[in-house]
Amino acid sequence: MRVLITGATGTIGLAVADALQARGDQVVALSRDPERAQRVLGSNAEVHAWCEPSAEPPPPEALSGAEAVVHLLGEPIAQRWTEEAKARIRDSRVMGTRSLVRGLEMLADGQRPRVLVSQSATGYYGPRGDLPLDEQASPGSDFLAEVVIAWEQEAAAAAPAMRVAQTRTGVVLSPSGGALAKMLPFFRLGLGGPVAGGEQYVPWIHLDDVVGALLRCLDDDGAEGAVNLAAPNPVTNAELSRALGRALGRPALLPVPGFALRLLYGEMAGIVTSGQRVIPARLGELGYQFDHPQVEPALRDVLTQS
């Protein structure tokens, strides 16, 4: 299968590209820096330049003949949310997806892919305390929720020309990058602990299961609409902190006050000090079996790779 990937040089994109190539699929990548992407992805990947994702559709020669698209492109969320940063976060997702869909719509009927798997985020639900949230739960109303709603609407415009799955991904546990990379230096020094009281839920998921779920959404015709990508056993921030401390053999008792995060990150701190208890109901209905359903073994596995 010929699979087009946007955001192919990010943590998730690289892992998806490796998994697709391992099973014999042809990877086609779109990148603003095609030379770097070619070096990172290797000679087996086909790389095309997409210099202005928020302003123009991808080149038709990259899209033509692709049987599936995995859309992962987006400005990092974990940064201080200035007005300029918020505009980049929104435009990279909303306008970038609009440009991609416009390019797909311009293809002749026989050249369009059969499925678009478009990355989304559990931020869709907004801060919800300990309320269990499956894919039928209502959206939130904060900045990130509004971005995700608009992002998903742009992806949904590709239907009914193709099947569209929107993967609402939680906090990815990965040996490189992401939230865990920011936590590890403090926890390795014995300086880690729960954030803002630690009672907020963390919708965590191991990178292996992100990849496995994305491939399931590519292959399974039943994967359509919203699909939560979060482990089936959500934990609170305090439980995650204790599990990471045990995995490292370090204490995890020093609390991090919420006001300190707000001083450092401003409005963005809200996604850490609040949380969502996300349930992967659709993946369960699709029969997906998690490789890492429990947080402490998942953390130990990640740490062996870091």
Helices 11-22 & 34-41 angle (0-180, nearest 10): 50
Q: How confident is the model at residue 258 (pLDDT cuts 50, 70, 90)?
A: low
Q: Is the model's pLDDT at 256 over the cut of 80?
A: no
Q: What are residue 76's phi and psi, to 5 degrees?
A: -55, 135
235 closest CA partner among 258, 204, 209, 213: 204
Q: H-helix or E-strand containing 239?
A: helix 237-248
Q: Picking from 189-193, 203-207, 224-228, which range would have the lowest pLDDT averaged per residue?
A: 189-193
**Span 129-137, mean pLDDT?**
96
Backbone conformation region of residue 189, classed left if phi is above 0, alpha if psi is from -120 to 50, else beta: alpha
Q: How confident is the model at residue 242 (pLDDT cuts 50, 70, 90)?
A: very high
Beta bridge partners of 132: 277
Q: Is the model's pLDDT at 259 over the cut of 60?
A: no
Strands 235-236 and 201-202: antiparallel
pLDDT for the residue 268: 66
**Span 93-99, mean pLDDT?**
98
**Domains, the chain:** 2-170+206-230+279-290 (3.40.50.720)
pLDDT for the residue 269: 62
Beta bridge partners of 235: 202
Looking at per-residue pLDDT, the higher value among 104 and 198 belongs to: 104
Q: Is the model's pLDDT at 121 over the cut of 60?
A: yes
Looking at per-residue pLDDT, the higher value among 64 and 259 belongs to: 64
261 closest CA partner among 170, 191, 196: 196
**Span 17-38, mean pLDDT?**
97
Contacts of residues 240-244 at CB distance under 8 Å and 24 or more positions apart, as own/partner, are: 240/202, 240/204, 240/295, 241/187, 241/192, 241/193, 241/194, 241/195, 241/198, 243/295, 243/296, 243/299, 244/180, 244/183, 244/187, 244/192, 244/299
Contacts of residues 87-92 at CB distance under 8 Å and 24 or more positions apart, as own/partner, are: 89/147, 90/147, 90/150, 91/54, 92/53, 92/54
